[in-house]
Amino acid sequence: MNRFDLPDNLPVPVDDGQCAHLHVGMEFPVDVLTILPTTNHHTVNISNYPRTVLYFYPRTGKPNQKLPDGWDAIPGARGCTPESCAFRDHHKELQELGANVYGCSTQTTDYQQEVVDRLHLPFDLLSDAELKLMNHLKLPYFTLAELDNVPLIKRLTIIVKDNKIEHVFYPIFPSDKHAAEVLNWLKQNPIK
């Protein structure tokens, strides 16, 4: 197994209803999004694109960094790096369908910059370390004592069109196949 492969025995997350309030047509808080730090240090302006794919993930680890105790037992926690790599690998196709991509976690921009550089991500990662977007959207999260109980956003993806939520993917499993799932949804729902 290479370091990006997911173990076969990961628990599958179930829809716990924690994203039910994120409904189609709901106004997306663009003003909150624009204040989040990005890995390229530019302001996010989603109105420059027909669609925005915003995928949220708990956290990425660094090579040779031990996983937190019990990480693999948390449904949907494992797989942030494979998910980001899949969005990287499908990035051109997503752009051809009019979608811009951002990843978002509660990790700091400095931490995320290492990930962008190491994985050669062609898109920005957004830092919600101050929990502004997470709290505004009431996104589901979990905490671990080993990680100082910092809120970690559960894996979900929001597609935004015309500053409104167009689709929400939650729960997501397996994470390494999710970019292809988003790509298929965009193909089935072309921009009108």
- Dump the DSSP string for 90-127: THHHHHHTTEEEEEEESS-HHHHHHHHHHHT-SSEEEE
Residue 154 lies in a domain: yes
**What total of structural domains would you count in the chain?**
1
Residue 136 lies in a domain: yes
Residue 38 lies in a domain: no
For residue 104, what is the domain's CATH number? 3.40.30.10
Q: Range of 101's domain?
A: 47-188
Residue 117 lies in a domain: yes
State phi, psi for 54 to the nearest 5 degrees: -115, 105
Cα distances from 4 to residues 13, 86, 160, in angstroms, run: 20, 10, 28
- State whether the Cα torsion 105-110-116-119 is positive or negative: negative
Residue 40 lies in a domain: no
Residue 66 lies in a domain: yes
Residue 63 lies in a domain: yes
User: What tens digit of pLDDT does each residue of 115-134 get?
Assistant: 999 999 999 999 999 999 99
Examine the pLDDT at 2 and tell me if it is beyond 90.
no
Residue 176 lies in a domain: yes
User: What tens digit of pLDDT does each residue of 127-185 get?
Assistant: 999 999 999 999 999 999 999 999 999 999 999 999 999 999 999 999 999 999 999 99
How much is the pTM? 0.95
The percentage of residues in the chain with a pLDDT greater than 70, rounded to a whole number, is: 98
